[in-house]
Amino acid sequence: MKFSPSAWCILAAGICILSILSGPSEGQARSCIALSSQNDPASMKVGAALEHLFADQTPCFVVSYNPPARSAQLLLDGEVDGEFLRLADFAPYQQADVVMVPVALVSGEGVLVSRDQKITSLESLGHSALGYRRGTDWSENLSKFYPNRIAVPSYELMVEMFNKGRIDALLIDDLNLRGYGHMLSGTTRTPLKETSAYIWLAARHKDL
């Protein structure tokens, strides 16, 4: 399975949001729903599609992009109306006043990337340095017991560190991997985890 932010998935999720939210009453100005997401190529692609598909709807969507941990905190602090792309079991949201839109925006795989053909699992890493993106729940959970892991603030920096030999392997989802594929030629790529990502909304919207 590959990450596929298809238009119909995004359309279905957007319609589901519109069914949860109430539009402005007659005479009120047109409003937009403020969403945050992570500042990576995959999130930007999905965000651009949401804004485009619902540009003429009420409400519409306005998306901002932030580092992963910051993006989640914006929703927890009530500074935005919602956030995407997050897993159904994203820990910070489990006890928070937020609600998940039950339509996956993307489904796919978390991938281990290495230049060593013998490295096809976390167990085969030995003492190699493993990079993961800070604030990305699936890779943080998958590697939490690995002793030599390095938290990196962005995929862009992680790929740069990998190419300079500062880390030996990295964890990345396959949609973002496509965006950096030209920089990771000749690597061994092993799918480790199937994932689906969703939109989460502030709970104040769920009964509107």
128-149 tens-digit pLDDT? 999 999 988 899 999 999 999 9
pTM of the entire predicted model: 0.80
66-113 tens-digit pLDDT? 999 999 999 999 999 999 989 999 989 999 999 998 888 888 899 999
114-129 tens-digit pLDDT? 999 999 999 999 999 9
CA 120 to CA 29: how far, in whole Å?
55
Residues 6+ away with beta carbon under 8 Å from 95: none
Considering only the C-alpha atoms of the chain, give the largest distance between any 2 of them, rounded to a whole number of Å: 65
User: Pairing mode, if any, of strands 32-38 and 82-86?
Assistant: parallel
